[in-house]
Amino acid sequence: MNSGIDLRANFIESLQDFGIPPGAAKALWMPLPMFLMIIVATVGVLVSVWLERKISAAAQQRIGPEYAGPLGVLQPVADGIKLVFKEDVVPAKSDPLLFTLGPVLVVIPVFLSYLIIPFGQNLIITDLGMGIFVWIALSSIAPIGLLMAGYASNNKYSLIGGLRAAAQSISYEIPLALSVLAIVMMSNSLSTIDIVEQQAGYGILGWNIWRQPVGFLIFWIAALAECERLPFDLPEAEEEIVAGYQTEYSGMKFALFFLGSYVNLVLSAILFAILYLGGWEFPIPLGQMANWFGVSPNNPWLQVLTASLGIIMTLLKAYFLVFIAILLRWTVPRVRIDQLLDLGWKFLLPVSLANLLITAGLKLAFPAAFGG
């Protein structure tokens, strides 16, 4: 199977065929994954913002964006351009350095997490052997930026929002990591590619959602809390603390918080699809469908079709989960901060730990069914 390393080698070899020296070819490759990652993540955010506006309008029996492009699809672009040209205000008594670094520390780790995301069978920037561990490590950096932003704003509402964000992230990161470790244990690998391949072969019946029903619920709840989506948006609860850690931000710095929130939502949805819904795999294996119609699995056209449909399948699963998250925002009331922390520490943590131990026991007892 091709990986990000294979794509890198093919790209460098192609440039060398045109007479470009090896050193120059490697230098030309280096910025490409970053640009590709930023473009893909930004497009995903624009689609998510448009869906958020249209779904919320439908839930409230409104029309929503309509005039900025067909069905209002250009409204997120217009919003982004507006934020770019907004005045960037820095409060007089804030800490300018920390005030500026806060949004940066929130956005960069989320973008870097896309390096280990396989959008299709052969479409990944880098297939790290410890990809899941890298994602868990990167996700723990964002709360530092949120706390930094709240502290540096010199605003009581901002400080409360930053403290809430840090407390919320810490309480939900542990159940999130434990639920993912159960998947890693069954897959015998930390690679996202290996986790998807481990679910292949039996169609929808081979997906981890059936073998980890408790884990997938814990992951989804914890992911919503990590993304600060309702009913877990306590760090920026408008009715309580204005906008939390974002209260004093404007212009591009506010845009970075906004971008980071939606990039993280799309990332969590794609990871959920990879870990529990088979990634690019179809509910019915394409190889089996090809046999029904008498098509050879080695047919090059079938392989191209499989790769293309795999990308579409990954995005369909991810955006179905984004749709669920948006629908929850307009149907579920916000919980209190004490209820949120009780849910994380007193319920999700022991349940996720018990789920991990039960998975280990079942793996020893039924190795064929649980990836032994």
User: Beta partners for 123?
Assistant: 120
Query: What does the pLDDT look like over 188-205, one tens digit per residue?
Result: 888 888 898 888 878 888
Distance between CA atoms of 132 and 191, rounded to whole angstroms?
A: 6
**Taking the mean position of all CA atoms in its chain, how far away is CA 167?**
20
Handedness of CA 264, 60, 82, 70 (dihedral sign): positive
- Mapping DSSP onto H, E and C, the string for the chain reads CCCHHHHHHHHHHHHHHCCCCHHHHHHHHCHHHHHHHHHHHHHHHHHHHHHHHHHHHHHCCCCCCCCCCHHHCCHHHHHHHHHHHCCCCCCCCCCHHHHHHHHHHHHHHHHHHHHHCCCECCECCCCCCCHHHHHHHHHCCHHHHHHHHHHHCCCHHHHHHHHHHHHHHHHHHHHHHHHHHHHHHHHCCCCHHHHHHHCCCCHHHHCHHHHCHHHHHHHHHHHHHHCCCCCCCHHHCHHHHCCHHHCCCCHHHHHHHHHHHHHHHHHHHHHHHHHHCCCCCCCCCHHHHHHHCCCCCCCHHHHHHHHHHHHHHHHHHHHHHHHHHHHHHCCCCCCCHHHHHHHHHHHHHHHHHHHHHHHHHHHHHCCCCCCC
pLDDT, position 4: 43
Query: What does the pLDDT look like over 315-337, one tens digit per residue?
Result: 999 999 999 999 888 888 888 88
Which residue is it, tokens 């996202």?
A: 192
What is the reported pTM? Answer: 0.87
Distance between CA atoms of 161 and 156, rounded to whole angstroms?
A: 9
Low-confidence ranges of the chain (pLDDT < 70): 1-10, 286-303, 369-372
Six-digit token string for 43: 């497009």
pLDDT, position 40: 83
Percent of the chain with pLDDT over 70: 91
pLDDT, position 181: 93
pLDDT, position 206: 85
